[in-house]
Amino acid sequence: MAEIGVGIIGASLNSWAATGHVPALDALPDYELRAISTTRPESAEAAAKKFGVPGAYDNHHDLISRPDVDLVVVAVKVRHHHALVSAALEAGKAVYSEWPLGADREEAVGLAALAHAAGVRTAIGLQGRFAPSVRHAADLIADGYVGKVLSTTLVGSGVAWGAETDRSHAYIFDDASGAATLEVPVMHALDALTSAVGEFDEVSAHLVRGRTQVRLMDEGITIPVTAPDQVSVTGTLRNGAAASVFYRGAHSRGDNLRWEINGTEGDLVLTAAGINGNLQVIDLVLEGGRGSDAGIAPIDIPDRYFDGVPRHLTGPAHNVAHVYAALATDLREGRATVPGFDHAVVQHRLLDTIKRASKTRASQSFLG
């Protein structure tokens, strides 16, 4: 492929795709955005005009059937993933789906099986592990910077799950949406954490619904909250280290993202400024200290971790661009460095294990 043709399902002007995917694709010479699909012709045409895209559709089948679309990106609400991803796979197209892959593990397993049967490449949108600071931290750990890992602790803020919202975002307060605090900030953070430090062996969890209602500011009413907004996941990793992850809805007046990795020889710390603690979309600062160091100091990220992604590309599109850069190499060279639907199934199993641990109030083994 001279250029990889991309079609995005769900790229209206104010969407996550417009914030994360479109700027990422624009920054990479390997890709060309060739089609956009939304639910209404007006929104599709407006987005296509703004982004300079030739194809605008209100029917996803029209986007999928374009011969110049090599990669279909599904960036819509989780409840629509199964139908849209299935349609793209059945057409023999490579698919990049946002996380979660399905509304539940059964849907994810079915989509992974369909992808295998179609023999196509897939990618799951868990981009936190591709942040240069996370990848550099993982390599430092593997090279012995901290010695034997003893523990890792991560505290973050999900921002969106506060006391107020609007009608268009009300669905994320519904436990059945697949897009609440646990599924989004927590699972993104856990994927990044395990990519650097190691997989879970045993999991305990507490899923707490701190806020029982949320006010819709555009309608002047309150609606019930059914999803937990205070999430605690603890456990042991397969390397014997202790792990603790806590996410709050809304944000703190203090730190909103702090991730420490502590070992016998040193420590690594990843932080971010501002109120946003969603690890997958923010710009992280890596610091560390070891041996006789009295404290931690900034650690520069070598150029090799940017893989052609411009350093000036910051914010939500930055980590997404790193996924696309690695995926382009995968597609051309037949590699599989970007996790696909099989990995998504593993993460769905972890998600189910966390829910079971909270429900039973007992530690659960996690086999991956």
Could you read off the pLDDT of 303-321 as tens digits, one per residue? 999 989 999 999 999 999 9
200, 270, 347, 353 from 350: Cα distances, Å: 9, 23, 5, 5
What is the structure's pLDDT at 368? 74
Residue 8 in this model has a pLDDT that exceeds 80 = yes
**pLDDT for the residue numbered 307:** 86
Is pLDDT above 70 for 46? yes
Tokens of 212: 């029982």
Query: Looking at the predicted structure, is the pLDDT value of residue 168 above 80?
Result: yes
Percentage above 90 pLDDT, the chain: 98
> Comparing C-alpha atoms, which of 19, 69, 18 is closest to residue 43?
18
Classify strands 71-74 and 94-98 as parallel, antiparallel or unpaired: parallel
Delimit the CATH 3.40.50.720 region(s) of the chain. 4-126+319-339
What's the CA gap between 278 and 58, in Å, rounded?
A: 31
From CA 221, how far away is CA 218, in angstroms rounded?
8
Q: If you average pLDDT over residues 166-170, what whole number do you get? A: 96
- Find the mean pLDDT for residues 63-92: 98
- Inform me whether the pLDDT recorded for 67 exceeds 80: yes
Position 327 pLDDT exceeds 90: yes
CB atoms inside a 10 Å sphere around CB 89: 26
Does the structure show a pLDDT above 60 at 1? no
pTM assigned to the model:
0.97
4 three-state secondary structure: strand
Query: Boundaries of CATH 3.30.360.10 in the chain?
Result: 129-305+348-360
The CATH code that applies to domain 4-126+319-339 is 3.40.50.720
H or E element: which one contains 168? none
Residue 285's DSSP bridge partners are 271
* pLDDT band, residue 195 (cuts 50/70/90): very high
- Contacts of residue 86, Cβ cutoff 8 Å, sequence gap at least 6: 111, 114
Tell whether the torsion through CA atoms of 52, 76, 232 and 213 is positive or negative: positive
| pLDDT, mean of residues 205-216 | 98
DSSP run (H or E) holding 124: strand 122-125
Place 184 in a pLDDT band, splitting at 50, 70 and 90.
Answer: very high
Q: What's the average model confidence in pLDDT over 90-107?
A: 98
3-state helix, strand, coil in the chain (%, to 5): 35, 25, 35
pLDDT the model gives residue 2: 81
Does the domain made of 129-305+348-360 have the CATH classification 3.30.360.10? yes
